[in-house]
Each structure stands twice: as structure tokens, then as C-alpha cells.
Amino acid sequence: MAGIFSRLSAVWHSDLALRFRRNRNAMIGSILVSLVLFVALFGGLFAPYPYDRINMAVIWEPPGAEFLMGTDALGRDVFSRILIGARISMLVAASVLAITFVIGVTLGMIAGYFGGWADTLIMRTVDIIFAFPELILAILVAAVIGTGTGTVIVALSLVWWPGIARLTRSLVLSLREEMYIDAAISSGTHPARILLRHLLPNIASPLIVRASVGVGFIVMAEATLSFLGIGVQEPTPTWGGMIRDGLDSLRTDPHLALYSSLALGITIIGFNMLGDGLRDLFDPKMGER
């Protein structure tokens, strides 16, 4: 037992932790992100009302004791919907991150390490996809395979993996000349092993930063698609959809649009700050001696 505490204490006082704690961005960012993740995971438990409970008697209630953030056009509790909306946003974000990173990192490493025709093939594909404006592409995909959460995930993944591939490739290109790669080749190490054991762990840091900042973009894109009516469908609440619904009544009953925008904003800011903070942390450290 004491062993665990002393290990934790050692980590808490380690150089990395010290710098993390001093880094304002990282600290604030991680607090916000933790909040959002907590809500996404457990928010449903705290929702005072079911998110789809329609009650035409209490439409457009202003925020008050009964409905913390008021109600919308169908009398649904905005607070509960915001809580559930967090789950949707994080679900989409996690899915898209997972898919794009698996595909993007793998292809990027192959392109960067082996070069040759594999590199050409992969990078030209990346260039082609980059030629399309992201949103248009997402809308196109939705038009083809229909609307819904699944569509959003597929569309955003398709649009996002090239960026990850390109980043990974350039990271690999710069690391490929390191002497420990030469040493591994001289030791008879198999190329797949070199990719997994030598390259991947050493490119992890910038990729983590990219992931963190990327969440902000994904959440925003998902909100945009929902705002346009292409994404997640009613009655499942998404912040984007709620913003759209609230826009018409902005003058009279601003609470719907306001709170959902706030939720969206806090999430994006939180992930961006965390990403910035992590980037500073992972950067070559300022000389301690």
C-alpha cells in the first residue's frame, strides 16, 4: 500500500508533472476536458428529466428552479438535453479519432518509412481528398448514405484521416534518419518491428497533441452537420442541432441557443487549451542546466 503511494508521489513530483502543473493551458484545459468527459459519461445520471419528454404545457420556459436552463419549443428540458448532447459529441469525437488515427497513422508510417510507390500512392490519395472542402465532402457522403450518427462518423473520418497521414509521414521522415534506426537495421530488426517499436513511440507526442486539438474540430464539424440537419437526427439532442433550433427565437428566448453554444464553446476551448499545453510540455525542454 505504502508502495503505491510513494510511486504516486514520485510521479506527482516528477519533472513532467511539475511542468504540467506550472503550465496554465494544460491545467485549465485538463479541468475543462475532465468536466466534459465526466458529463459525457455520467451526465445521464444527473439529468433531471428524460431528454425526449415533450410537454407542450411548458414550452419556452425561461431558466428557473424547475428547469435549470429552461425548455425548448417542445417543452423538453434544455439542461438534460445538454447533458446528453455531451455524450453524443464525445462519442462521435472518440469514434472519429479512433478511425482516423488507426488508418492515418498506419498509412502515414508506411508512406514515410518505405517511400517509393507506396508513398506515391498514399500521398496522392491524400492530396485528392484534401482538394475537397471538408464540409462539402461530408455533405456529399451524407447525401449518399443517408443521415444519422453513423453517417457523421463515416463522413468525418473520411475527411480527417489524410491530415493525420500527412502529419505522421512527415514525423517519420524526420525520425527515419536517427541513428537508433540504423542500429536497429544493423541488428537485423524486421521493418514492421522498426515501425512499431522504434518509430511509433517516438512520434506519439505530436500525435497526441494533434488528437487533442482535433477533438475541438471534430466536435465543431459534428455540430455544423447537425446544424445543417444532416447529422444526428431528432429526438437525440446534439448541441449543433440545439443551436439551430434556438436561433429563430434568439431575441425572445435566447437560453436554448445560448447554453448550447456555451457548452460547445467550453468543450472546444478545453481541448484546444489542453492541446496547446501538451505541445509546450512535449517540446524540447528549456535547458535545465
Partner 1 sequence: MAAVLNISGLSVDFATLRGPLRVLDGVDFSLEEGEILGLVGESGSGKSVSAMTVMGLLPDTARIAAGSIRLGGRELVGLGRKAMRPLRGRDMAMIFQEPMTSLNPVLTVGFQIAETRMLHFGESEPAAMRKAVEMMEAVGIPDPAARALDYPHQLSGGMRQRIMIAIAMAGEPRLLIADEPTTALDVTIQAQILDLMLDLREHTGTAILMITHDMGVIAQMADRVAVMYAGQIVEQAGADDLFDRPAHPYTNRLLQSIPSARHRVDRLKIIPGTTPSPRDFATGCRFQPRCEEALPRCQTEAQALADYAPNRLVRCWRCFEPAEGVA
Partner 2 sequence: MSDTPLLEVRDLSKSFVVERGFLGAPRKELHALNSVSFTMAEGETLGIVGESGCGKTTLGRMILRLLEPSGGRILFQGQDITGLSQRELRPFRRAIQAVFQDPFSSLNPRMNVRAIIGEPLENFGASRADIRRRVGELMEVVGLRPDMMDRLPHAFSGGQRQRIGIARALALNPKLIVCDEAVSALDVSIQAQILNLLADIQKEFGLSLLFISHNLGVIRHVSHRIGVMYLGQMVELASERELFEAPQHPYSRALIASVPEPDQRGNRRERPLQGELPSPMNPPAGCTFHTRCPLAVARCRTDVPQPVETQGGGMARCHFPGLLNHSQLEPA
Backbone dihedral region for residue 87 (phi beyond 0: left; psi -120 to 50: alpha; all else: beta):
alpha
Inter-axis angle of helices 200-227 and 149-175, to 10 degrees?
150
User: What does the block give as the cell for 117?
Assistant: 510507390
In the complex with partner 1, which residue's Cβ is closer, 9 or 34? 9
Site string for partner 2, 202-221 (x = CB under 8 A): x-------------------
* Residues whose CB is less than 8 angstroms from the CB of residue 27 and which lie 6 or more positions away in sequence, other chains included: 20, 21, 277
Given the rule CB under 8 A, which of 15-23, 128-136, 234-242, 245-253 is the region that contacts partner 1? 15-23
Q: Which helix (H) or strand (E) holds 108?
A: helix 78-114
Q: Is 184 in the site for partner 2 (CB under 8 A)?
A: yes
- Does residue 185 interact with partner 2 by CB under 8 A? yes
Kindly state the cell numbers that stand for 12: 506527482
Query: Which residues fall within 8 angstroms of residue 136, CB to CB, at 6 or more apart?
Result: none
7 binds, options partner 2, partner 1, none, Cβ within 5 to 8 A by partner type:
none
The stretch near partner 2 (CB under 8 A) out of 28-36, 110-118, 191-199, 250-258 is 191-199
Mutual orientation of helices 78-114 and 200-227 as an angle, nearest 10°? 140
For residue 188, state whether it binds partner 2 (rule: CB under 8 A). Answer: yes
Exactly one of 8, 18, 144, 247 binds partner 1 (CB under 8 A); that residue is 18
Work out what residue 18 binds among partner 1, partner 2, none; the CB cut-off runs from 5 to 8 Å by kind: partner 1
190 binds, among partner 2, partner 1, none (CB under 5 to 8 A by kind): partner 2
C-alpha cell at 264: 460547445
